[in-house]
Amino acid sequence: MRRYLEATTEVFPVAGSFTISRGSRTEVRVVVCSISQDGIKGVGECVPYTRYGESIEGVMADIQAVSDVISNGLDRHELQHIMKPGAARNAVDCALWDLEAKLSGKTVASTLLPVALKPIVTAYTISLGDADTMAAKAAENAARPLLKIKTGTDDDEARLRAVRAAAPSAQIIIDANEGWTYDNIEHHLTIAAELNIALIEQPLPAGKDAILARINRPVAICADESVHLTADLASLRDRYDAINIKLDKTGGLTEALLMKREAERLGYTIMIGCMLGTSLGMAPALLLAQDTAYADLDGPLLLARDRVPGLTYEGSLVHPPKPELWG
C-alpha cells in the first residue's frame, strides 16, 4: 500500500467583497490536498488564515513535509501527533477521511452517524459596512431564518438597529471579530439584548477577554478566535456560553469530533463555522453540524463561483454533500 500526496492552490473570486473588522477581501485562496491510493483519490481543502500566522506558502510547505510518512501509510490518528493544529492538518486530515471512505465503499457519514444526513439551515453573513448598506443587504435577505452580521467598531449601535429593522423576523448572530473593547462592550451587549440578538461571537480580542467573566451577559457569548483545541474549552467556560468549531482551527475533522464531544459535556452551545471557502471545505463540517444549535457554512454563497460539483443550497438550506464532492 503506497499513497501519493499532492498539494495545489486555487483562487475563487468573492461576490463583490467580504469585509470584517480586520479588512476586506475580493478573492479567496485555498489549498487542496489530494491523497491517492490504488487509483482512488481523497481530497481536502483548507484556507490559511493570516490572523493565526498562516500563509499559502507555509501551509503548502507543511503539507509537503508529511508526504513521505503519508506515502508509507500514516493514518489520521498518527497525523494528530506529527502535524500541528491548523489549516494544513485540516486539508490532510479531510483528504484521509475522504480516501478511507472511497476505499471502503462506505460514506464518512455512515461511519460516524446513526442516521442519514439531512439538510440543515446555515447562517447567511452580511459584511461590515455602514448602517444603510448593511440594512439594505439585510432587507434583501430578510426571509432567511438566520443572519450573521459582521461588526467590531466603536459604534455598532446604528448598524445593529438598522439591520434589525430591516430583518425583524430573522434570528441574528453578531460577529465582532475581536473588535469591541472593555469601554464599549457593555453598551453593545445592552443594545443586542434589546434587539433580541441570539448570539455574539468573539466580541473581545483573544486573551484580553477576562471582563466577560465579571460583567452581566444578557446575550450568549461565543468563542471563536479564543478556541482552537479541545484542551482550550475548560478554561473558557467562565467567559463563554458557546463555541465556534472550525476545521481550519482544529486541524481537521478528527480533532473537531473530539472537541464537539467535550463541548457538549461541558454544556456549551455549539456553532459549526467556516472560513471563506468552497463547498469542499464546507462538506466535512456538515457532518458536525447535524445536531448543533447553529451552523455557519455559507462560504460558497459568498463566492462569485464555487467548485463543480458543489453543495446544493436552497435559500439558507444546505444539503449533504454528494460522494463526488467529498466523503
Kindly give, in sequence order, each residue whose CB lies less than 8 Å from that of residue 39, ignoring residues fewer than 6 positions away: none
**Catalytic member of 246, 249, 260, 322:** 246
246 is catalytic: yes
**Catalytic member of 137, 148, 150, 260:** 150
Spatial separation of the C-alpha atoms in residues 247 and 249, rounded to whole Å: 5
Decide: 243 and 222 in contact? Cβ < 8 Å.
yes
What are the CA-CA distances from residue 1 to residues 40, 44, 74, 249, 301 (Å)? 12, 20, 11, 30, 39
Residue 314, H or E segment: strand 313-314
Spatial separation of the C-alpha atoms in residues 190 and 200, rounded to whole Å: 12
Give residue for cell 490518528.
Answer: 77
Q: Which three cell numbers stand for residue 182?
A: 472593555
Give residue for cell 460577529.
Answer: 175
Per-residue three-class SS string for 126-173: ECCCCHHHHHHHHHHCCCCCEEEEECCCCCCHHHHHHHHHHCCCCEEE
260 is catalytic: no
Active site positions, annotated: 150, 246
